[in-house]
Amino acid sequence: MSNIARSFSEVTTGIRDRARSGQPVRRNSQNAGGAEATLWRVHNTFPRTEHNARMRAAEEFDHETKLPGKRNGALGAVALEVLRCLLRMRGRKTGRLDLSYQQIADKIHRSRSAVGAALDRLKKCGFIDWIRRCQPIEDAQPDEQQTEQIPNAYILVQPPTVRECVRRMLRKPSEFVRAVAEKLARQRKLDTATVDDVIAEVQNPELRAILTRVRASVDSANPPSGHTEAL
């Protein structure tokens, strides 16, 4: 099948699906309560110090991407306002972030269209991602709409260069430095560890018991005094 035919097939299939379902829900919407909770915890929960560093890094990114003669960079003033709003409104413990366009517009005193364009720029530049979501309508009759669109779940990601900038602002060690430090710490621990320390680190209780008996047997065969017990 040619690319044109395949594209036509996908378009007509989508039209048939929409006509058959009859639900005013945007394509690729997922049911609420899926992956967003995990993504929120992983990406949206961080201390306030990082909140401020992320915002400063975004402002630097916008300044560095500003072309001569242009007022704004790749993000623009409205996108920075939207990002600041998202950072402030995220759940501190759960990372939950699912504001509607209108809620964001009301908070930053901008139009819905300006918010939508700003969100698109933030996503294009790698500062956010989102999951389109829907949910069943309670007590819906068989001949009525069964599902409805709900606000997107927003994920606060970072471009690699911005992530590195945030790390420097917070004076956090890089992944390489952290790995080397952990390796040196493990080596120092092994250099100073006693036999009892090594045995205590064994997770398997059966193996730990065997090693304990072997240790006791070796100690009895080689007492500190240098004299073995009479048989």
Bigger pLDDT: 131 vs 12? 131
Report the run of H or E that residue 153 belongs to, with start and end.
Answer: strand 147-155
User: What average pLDDT does this structure show over 49-75?
Assistant: 91
Q: How confident is the model at residue 180 (pLDDT cuts 50, 70, 90)?
A: low
pLDDT at residue 2, rounded to an integer: 46
User: Does position 40 have pLDDT exceeding 80, yes or no?
Assistant: yes
Q: List the single range of 115-124, 196-205, 219-228 with lowest mean pLDDT.
A: 219-228
Instruction: Enter the pTM of the model.
Output: 0.62
Note the pLDDT of residue 185. 64
Q: Mean pLDDT check: name the lowest of 24-28, 103-107, 113-117.
A: 24-28
Mean pLDDT for all residues in the chain: 79
Token pair of 173, please? 């060690």
End-to-end CA distance of the chain: 88
**Which pLDDT does position 21 carry in this prediction?**
44
- Of the two residues 13 and 122, the one the predictor is more confident about is 122
Distance CA 97, CA 94 (A): 9
User: Average pLDDT, stretch 86-115?
Assistant: 95
Range with the poorest average pLDDT among 30-44, 115-129, 138-152, 174-188:
174-188
Strands 30-31 and 147-155: unpaired
What does the pLDDT read at residue 201? Answer: 76
- CA 194, CA 199: separation in Å to the nearest integer? 9
Q: Whose CA is closest to 125, among 57, 38, 51, 45?
A: 57
Cα–Cα dist 224/157, whole Å? 61
- Structural domains for the chain: 25-170 (1.10.10.10), 175-221 (no CATH)
Higher pLDDT, 193 or 228: 193
Q: Which residue has the higher pLDDT, 125 or 180?
A: 125
Which has more confidence, 213 or 18?
213
The alpha carbon of residue 27 and the mean position of all alpha carbons in its chain are separated, in whole angstroms, by: 23
In tens, the pLDDT along 128-173 reads 999 999 888 777 667 666 678 889 999 999 999 888 888 888 876 5
Q: What is the mean pLDDT of residues 24-52?
A: 84
CB–CB of 129/157 below 8 Å?
yes
* C-beta of residue 101 within 8 angstroms of C-beta of residue 114: no
Angle, CA 226 vertex, CA 224 and CA 229 arms, to 5°: 95
